[in-house]
Amino acid sequence: MIYHFKFYGRYKNCSGTILTAINKIEFQNIPVPLIENGVQQQIAEYIEKSFYLCEESKRLLEEAKDMVEKEIEKGTSKAISAAWQS
C-alpha cells in the first residue's frame, strides 16, 4: 500500500510524531495481520480506481464549469445586444 501513497504524492511535506504512550519495543511488538496476496491486490485495484475516479470527477467538474460559464457569457451577450437595440 505504501507504493500507492508514494506514487500519488501522499508523502509530500509529511512530518513525524512522537508516541509518548508506548515505547519503541512495545511498538515493534504490535501484531500486524498479514493479508492474503489476492486480497491485497484487490485493495490496491480499488485504491487505483478511486484515484482515477477522483481525477476524472475533477476533470468533469471543470468541464461543467466551463460549459456553464460559456452559457452565461452567451446570455450576457444577448442581453447586451438586446439593450443596445432598444
Q: What is the pTM of this model?
A: 0.53
Number of domains in the chain: 1
pLDDT score of 13: 61
Write out pLDDT tens, residues 20-55.
788 888 888 999 989 999 999 999 999 999 999 999
Query: What residues contact 48, with CB distance under 8 A and at least 6 apart?
Result: 4
Give the range of the structural domain holding residue 69, as residue numbers without chain letter: 2-85
- What pLDDT score does 20 carry? 72
